[in-house]
Amino acid sequence: MQQVVGKQDITILADRGYDDSSSFKTVHESGVTAIVPKIRTSANRSKGLFTKEDFVYNKEKDVYECPAGKDIPFSFVSTDKGKPLRAYMSAMACKSCAIKSRCTTSTAGRRIRRLDDEDHVERVAQAYKNMPNAMTLRQQTVEHPFGTVKQ
């Protein structure tokens, strides 16, 4: 990890693998900006289907806006490794959707899951988008000294 210290803020550039939502919450609560590339593990991407990144969360309405322009509302809460996981789905909208074959193979329609602390994941993703050279900067300033120390 690398810290970029500005006048009033601290930004941490971390490598892939530090992509952990509960850590992001702690980092943000301490007033630090985190920039971490996301590990892409979506099976949908390799199948040529829309991924979660194609859906936009609308916090005010608590819905996901899907690629067909429909609002996909909150449906229920489940848990994953003890963490609450909110599910958004709309069987009705998906049933009549013209682009369903590009979205899901499920007859019940597309389901989008959202962590309780996903706001922090989105904030990190946005920070990464805002600083496209972040990983180059990290490599230039951290990898070489690290390699030297290791040798």
Binding site for ligand SF4 (CB under 6 A): 66-68, 70, 72, 93-94, 97, 99-100, 103-104, 109-110
Q: Shortest approach of ligand SF4 to residue 56 CB, angstroms?
A: 12
Cα dihedral across residues 130, 11, 121, 116: positive or negative: negative
3-state secondary structure of 19: coil
For ligand SF4, the closer of residues 22 and 42 by Cβ is 42
For ligand SF4, the closer of residues 70 and 123 by Cβ is 70
Question: What strands, in cross-sheet order, belong to the sheet with 32-35?
Answer: 2-5, 10-13, 32-35
CA distance 130 to 7: 18
Q: Shortest approach of ligand SF4 to residue 140 CB, angstroms?
A: 41
For ligand SF4, the closer of residues 25 and 52 by Cβ is 52
